[in-house]
Amino acid sequence: MITEKIAIVRCFDYSKDKIRNAIEKIFNLLQPDFSSGILLKPNMLSARSPEQSVTTHPIVLEVLSEMLPRPVYIGDSPPNTQKSIEYYWETCGYKEVAVKTDAELVKLEGKSTVFNLGIAGRNVSFPVSDFALSKPIFNLPKFKTHNITVLTVAMKNLYGLIPGYPKGLLHTQFPEPEMFNHFVVEMYRVLEKRVVFNLVDAIEIMDGNGPASGSKRYYGYLIAGKNAVCVDLVCTVCAGLKISQVPFLRIYESLYGIPEIEIVGDSPEIMKDFRPPSSSAIFKMQNNLVFSKALRKIANQLNIIPVINHNVCMKCFECYRVCPVKAISNDLKIDRKKCINCLCCFEVCPHRAIEVKKSFLAKIILP
Ligand code: SF4
Ligand code: SF4
């Protein structure tokens, strides 16, 4: 079996010198070979400032834009909202990177190619940006939790290559978390050959109810490698989690196996108090074969559900616009019968006004 090298390098903060030194160390350890015309693909989930730890820090992109052969492109496609992509670039700090380094900001919402997959007996079609498909991709995820995938790091970050609103619509084809995680696995296998490198911003990370409203915490590393599955597995171990607790890795391992990993660089401490998202307790229970048949029948009742806190809500209507099944009314009430618990509303709310809570049944069954 092939052994994949994954580099873990200490990087205490986002000062440019430290980031540059850490990336140079990673490149020395792994000796990647880069051609020109690379697309840097950060996590630009939401229009947030870098301090909020929702998006990949712009200094990482700035240093890479200076180090890699020209031209360098920067692009990601956030879930569709009424805000312009220029507003995202500005708020996330990527516009400043482009101005300083001559990197070109690109929109991934233009032409796309549709891929067709059969997943557990269901056919699914999904578009991928033609621009992204035409370039070598340098994947730059942020280390965060996610209420459907438990962790979102390298593999899940490629979901941003699906342009805008169809991302939300895909959830309607996979309302069950298990199926969505299976989709993440198969989507990765379609795109993996186009990814030339993965580098995780794990300096300031997010635990709890990520990917946008969890708790920021400090870790202080960059984690990198060619193979996104192995990068994600190393991040899982750093978080003190097991493969069985991260659904897409569990599915990947059972279907395709995970290569041997050799860690190079520094020896990070395992986080003892990393808080997985609220949903992970439910996933753990659903994995229990004794319960699985019964649970499948009541899946919609045993879940994590979004709840709008109207005292905090600023009535920006981003949640209303992003909902793929129109479950949110124009007076911002969620119709539980229509809601498929995709949590797109929770992800896009810029004011942390949407909380996730255990459903009535989950509260009874789970501690
Ligand atoms: S209300 Fe929120 S969680 Fe429910 S379907 Fe709409 S976007 Fe998804
Ligand atoms: S819940 Fe959040 S996204 Fe929805 S209208 Fe209120 S502030 Fe905006």
- Which CATH code of 3.90.550.10, 2.40.160.40, 3.30.70.20, 3.20.20.70 fits the domain covering 280-365? 3.30.70.20
d(CA 348, ligand 1 centre) in Å: 11
Pocket test for ligand 2, best of 45, 81, 82, 316 (most atoms within 8 A of CB): 316
Residue nearest to atom 7 of ligand 1 (CA): 323
d(CA 72, ligand 1 centre) in Å: 36
pLDDT (tens place) for every residue of the chain, 367 residues total: 689 999 999 999 999 999 999 999 999 999 999 999 999 999 999 999 999 999 999 999 999 999 999 999 999 999 866 789 999 999 999 999 999 999 999 999 989 999 999 998 889 999 999 999 999 999 999 999 999 999 999 999 999 999 977 888 888 888 888 899 999 999 999 999 999 999 999 999 999 999 999 999 999 999 999 999 999 999 999 999 999 999 999 999 999 999 999 999 999 999 999 999 988 777 766 665 445 555 555 655 667 899 999 999 999 999 999 999 999 999 999 999 999 989 999 999 999 999 998 777 677 766 5
Written as six digits, the tokens of 253 are 């391992």
Please list the alpha-helical segments (H only) found in 268-365: 279-287, 289-297, 318-322, 344-348, 360-365
- Return the closest-CA partner of residue 337 out of 300, 306, 363: 300
Domain ranges of the chain: 3-265, 280-365
Please list the alpha-helical segments (H only) found in 72-173: 85-92, 94-101, 130-133, 154-157, 166-173
- Tell me which residues have their CB closer than 6 angstroms to ligand 1: 306, 322-323, 325, 327-328, 334, 339-345
CB-CB contact of 187 with 173 (8 Å): no
* Residue-level pLDDT at 99: 98
DSSP state of 328: B
* CATH domain 3-265 topology: Rossmann fold (3.40.50)
pTM above 0.85, yes or no: yes
- Return the closest-CA partner of residue 344 out of 155, 138, 168: 168
d(CA 287, ligand 2 centre) in Å: 33
Q: Can you tell me which atom of ligand 2 is nearest the CA of 352?
A: 2
Please report, for residues 38, 116, 154, 289, the alpha-carbon distance to residue 341 in angstroms, rounded to integers and kept in the order given: 36, 24, 23, 23
d(CA 72, ligand 2 centre) in Å: 35
